Chain A
Amino acid sequence: MELEFQQLLPAIAGMTWQDLVMIAIGLILIYLAIAKEYEPTLLLPIGFGAILVNIPFTSAITQIDPATGEMVEGVLDTFFKAGIATEIFPLLIFIAIGAMIDFSPLFRNPSLLLFGAAAQFGIFMTMIFASLLGYDLREAASIGIIGAADGPTSIVVATRFAPNLLGPISVAAYSYMALVPIIQPPVIRLLTSKKERQIRMTSAGNYNMKISKTSLILFPIVVTIVAGIIAPSSLPLIGFLMFGNLIRECGVLNKLSLAAQNELASLVTILLGITIASTMTSDRFVRLDTLLIIALGLFAFVFDTFGGVIFAKFMNLFRKDGNKINPMIGACGISAFPMSARVIHQMGQKEDPYNYLLMPAISANVGGQIGSVIVGGIILTLVPLFA
């Protein structure tokens, strides 16, 4: 009788508690995406994919056919090999992101670009911490890159250095990006006084300055060349981002620009989310490691915020009264765009309703996007030398 049951409903018979945990995680991710609107474009496909791959004997991923003993390749594994292992999906997303970014706020206040470097501090702190916890340097770097707050960069680095950790790293990266409004404010409040949070930045930049079309066209080309000279390994990342931006700014490819912003972004996002979920099988995910990686991801975000705020305070030591930077702006140096800038603007308004920090915050946030991509490239270059 028992044998018959196994033959009739092998999925139920083969279900383990780990599979059930993963299905529950999938449901939670779907709930968070729909009810709380936490990065729904990514968390919903990931959540659904987590259910899809954790039903025993699912053909969505590669399985050994119990009847014949032959390996049957699942569609999600095919997608993974074609899109993630080759880094095509994240790089296509970079084109879409590039087409969406307007770099003109940076022209109005270029000094805020430096926060894009300072707020990457968490990546490296987490990397060191993960190394001390026993992860090898490649895995530690992949965990640290969660702090870039940049999903595609995290996926590219994790695919290269720690494909076994891709699932938890992607989930952590996208979840924390959605949780920026919850993670950043307490850290900022801890590091700044009320007086500092009330600093107005009206003189920080010329926000009415008109940026010429030539400057905006030249920018992606120059950035690609400069970043390429400094870190050639970052070229696929920064190159695709800037290519997308050039399509946007050139003015003669509006149709392509719109296609990149809408159709390309939507299509690849659908495939990216559900394909990442193919790595979230219970045997890989239900482990102490996953919890540790998720905790380290939080650590990375906290130290990113710390690095940015402290750097702003450091810069203020050399600035005259009336020209000081609101230290909260430093926290926008992460890549979570425009979430981080919006959070800081709202925090500023809470302290002083007439303080408008949105423009400088956006500038720093755009700097964070460039910074995170450069860091991704540097990690791809340096870690193989050290590890």
Chain B
Amino acid sequence: MIKLKRNILFVVAILSLSLTACGKKIKNPQLVINEVMTVNESNYMDEFGQRNAWIEIYNNTAATKNVGGMFLTTDKNNPKMYAIPLGDVLTQIKPHQHRLFWADNEPFHGTFHTNFKIDPTRETYIALYDVDGKTLLDEITIPAGMEADRTYGYEIDGVKYDNSGNILAKVLDRATPSSNNQVVGENPKIVSLKETDQEGLMLTITSMLVVFVGLILLFLIFNTIGNTASKMSKKRTDKKSDPKNVEISSDSSITGDEIAAISAAIHELMDDQHDVEPSVLTIQQIQRNYSPWSSKTQTLRRNPRR
């Protein structure tokens, strides 16, 4: 019992330590204003053939997020500037996917057209507020005088802060509306492994570990199922052999001779049941037409003897 308590305390200590360590790092927002273009001259065009400033929102989580009912604003004092309409299925952003809003002051063009414009000559504050209009989800400040067709945002989608908590927003090398800001062709870890482990030593160690882990898991499953099954069968056997469940006749008036007679009678009765066999005897000839297909002599030869 003391050992169990000690183990629990140890686990709690480890958990709280790791949580404290995690707590120091600033978390990236769940919904990030990922990339913004303030001057759109020859870039992305909306469904009406117009080029306007756009704001890209990125779902930084592994779950689908609905931005319907949330608010976009360019004014800190007016968080409810543009209410993203409810009831549009397209406001649901899939995990790690993007949604683009046009800052064109054309709200009647559809869900993704805001009721404000962005003035590129001035520093622009953009914020996303939750459905209550009070909880700030993310904000970004775009510097004044952005070049045409250049965007401002985060190099890696959704990564707003570095390890020291500094904001990583910058002018991006290329505009990537509704797609990843960084095009990842290869996984750098795998590239370095390919270079350092050409003979597959790491692959060997990884594979053997995975096989062992898999079989250890199966061992635990076998063990648990096996133990449970044997316990259950033992319980059942115990229950059957429990003296309480066996009815013992208290009638001692039956003598041994009588028991023998009853047994003999039961035996005879059971034997008698086999006197009439289920077969039917007949003198009629069975109709069976000859066919070479059913004749054994016409078909396969015997298997060769070894």
Contact = CB atoms under 8 A, between A and B. Distances in A.
Counting from the closest, the 8 A-B pairs by CB-CB distance are A110-B222, A124-B204, A131-B199, A117-B211, A107-B226, A212-B229, A117-B215, A117-B212
Interface of A: 106-108, 110-111, 113-114, 116-117, 120-121, 124-125, 127-128, 131-132, 137, 140-141, 206, 209-212, 214-215, 218-219, 222-223, 226-227, 230-231, 367, 370-371, 374-375, 378-379, 382-383, 385-387
Contact of B208 (A124, A131, A210, A227): A124
B214 A227 contact: yes
B236 to A, nearest CB: 10
13 contacts: A106-B222, A107-B229, A110-B219, A111-B219, A114-B212, A117-B215, A124-B203, A131-B200, A137-B198, A141-B200, A212-B229, A370-B215, A374-B211
A230 B223 contact: no
B211 A378 contact: yes
Contacts of B198: 131, 137
A374 B215 contact: yes
B193 interface: yes
Interface of B: 190, 193-194, 197-204, 206-208, 210-219, 221-223, 225-226, 228-230, 232-233
Given A124-B204, A132-B199, A231-B210, A370 B229 contact: no
A385 B188 CA distance: 11
Contacts of A230: 210, 213-214, 217
A348 to B, nearest CB: 23
Nearest to B189: A385
A75 to B, nearest CB: 25
B283 to A, nearest CB: 37
Contacts of A121: 208
Contacts of B229: 107, 209-212, 214-215
Contacts of A125: 204
Q: Which of B215, B221, B225 has the most CB of A within 10 A?
A: B215
A128 B200 contact: yes
A268 B169 CA distance: 61
Contacts of B219: 110-111, 113-114
A128 B199 contact: yes
A117 B212 CA distance: 6
A226 B230 contact: no
Contacts of A209: 226, 229-230
A370 B210 CA distance: 13
A304 to B, nearest CB: 12
A128 B233 CA distance: 49
A231 B194 CA distance: 21
Contacts of B194: 386-387
B221 A226 contact: yes
B218 A385 contact: no
Contacts of A218: 225
Nearest to A212: B229
Q: Which of A127, A386, A387 has the most CB of B within 10 A?
A: A386
A110 B194 CA distance: 37
B196 to A, nearest CB: 11
